[in-house]
Amino acid sequence: MSQHAIEELAQAVIARMDSAPNPRFKQIMTSLITHAHAMVREVDLRPDEWMAAIQFLTATGQKCDDKRQEVILLSDTLGISMLVVALDQLRGEIAAKASGTPATEATVQGPFYVESPPELPLGSDIGQGEPGEPAYYSGRVTDVAGKPIANCALDVWSSDGDGFYDVQREHKPGMHLRARFRTNANGNYRFWSVKPSKYPVPVDGPVGTMLLAMGRHPFRPGHMHTMLQAPGYQKLTTHLFDSTSEYLDSDAVFGVRDSLIVNFAAHAPGAAPDGRVMKVPYHSANFDFKLVPAV
């Protein structure tokens, strides 16, 4: 094959899609073929290297089961999940004519969300008896103009102080360190949990091998996951990152946004902001969420 024919091959593949019925699918595949061929030409990919890539993708698929999604982990660690989240949020803000407003930034959902967590009264403690230092979370949910949003469902979930989610602890079944709260008439929320710890993404599969080969560590900084849903507003999935955590500048899944880094203030034992008397030291984190109207 001549150099010219090599360069024309991508176009020949694209031309075969002339009668593809779905124009969006055709657009995506055209771009995929264009960029994939360009990459192969750019690095002058060798047959053994392509075979290694095929074996890697095969092993990534084979690692998946009902508890483990290695393909999503691949997308996460290559920054593609975060890119899709950021583009989706921007699209939603533009549609709602709210781009450029101080809406809370979204970040990745991750694999540890559980549908329909237990709904608890404001102020409940979901960290009782769990490894980790107690932390009091509070703040307000408003629209981008500052109007309070009442009855907003706020799902929260996090790792414990040892870096494990409940779904990873087979010796301790059931839901832990997760709940749904609802904001009060002023849009306020409050609950107790633990200060989340840094933890590694799973490394016992092909993605772990890839990270090693890239010279990368697998850690995420400590974070509390949140998902907010209120009628008339766009759903928001995001995190609160502990400002003192390691790995804020090198999150394995590229999820950190400066606006989501929160001070977990340290307190000596004594009366907490909600009047609870703490016999041990604790932390407090305050964060206000701003939601964009639905379109």
Binding segment toward ligand BEZ, per CB under 6 A, in 10-18, 108-116, 180-188, 273-281? 108-116
Question: Using CB distances below 5 to 8 A depending on partner kind, what does residue 76 bind out of ligand BEZ, Fe ion, none?
Answer: ligand BEZ
- Please state, in angstroms and rounded to a whole number, the distance separating the CA atoms of residues 122 and 191: 6
Number of residues in contact with ligand BEZ under rule CB under 6 A: 9
Nearer to ligand BEZ, 56 or 112 (CB): 112
Residue 201 contacts ligand BEZ per CB under 6 A: yes
For residue 134, how many other CB atoms are within 10 A of its CB?
22
Nearer to ligand BEZ, 85 or 144 (CB): 85
Among 70, 76, 130, 160, binds ligand BEZ (CB under 6 A): 76
Residue 218 contacts Fe ion per CB under 5 A: no
Cβ atoms 140, 208 nearer than 8 A: no
Span 81-120, contacts to Fe ion by CB under 5 A: 110
Instruction: Provide the sign of the torsion angle of the four alpha carbons 249, 252, 258, 261, taken in this order.
Output: negative
74 bridge partner residues: none
291 bridge partner residues: 143
Phi-psi region of 231 (alpha: psi -120 to 50; beta: other; left: phi over 0): beta
Residue 132 contacts Fe ion per CB under 5 A: no
Residue 73 contacts ligand BEZ per CB under 6 A: yes
Nearer to Fe ion, 165 or 233 (CB): 165
Residue 110 contacts ligand BEZ per CB under 6 A: yes
Residue 176 contacts ligand BEZ per CB under 6 A: no
3-class SS of residue 213: helix
Span 247-276, contacts to ligand BEZ by CB under 6 A: 253
Residue 200 contacts ligand BEZ per CB under 6 A: no
Instruction: Provide the sign of the torsion angle of the four alpha carbons 163, 168, 169, 174, taken in this order.
Output: positive
**CB-based burial, 111-127: b 16+ in 10 Å, e otherwise:** bbeeeebeeeeeebbbb
Residue 56 contacts ligand BEZ per CB under 6 A: no
Angle between helices 80-95 and 70-77 (to 10 degrees): 80
Residues binding ligand BEZ (CB under 6 A): 73, 76, 108, 110-112, 201, 220, 253
Residues binding Fe ion (CB under 5 A): 110
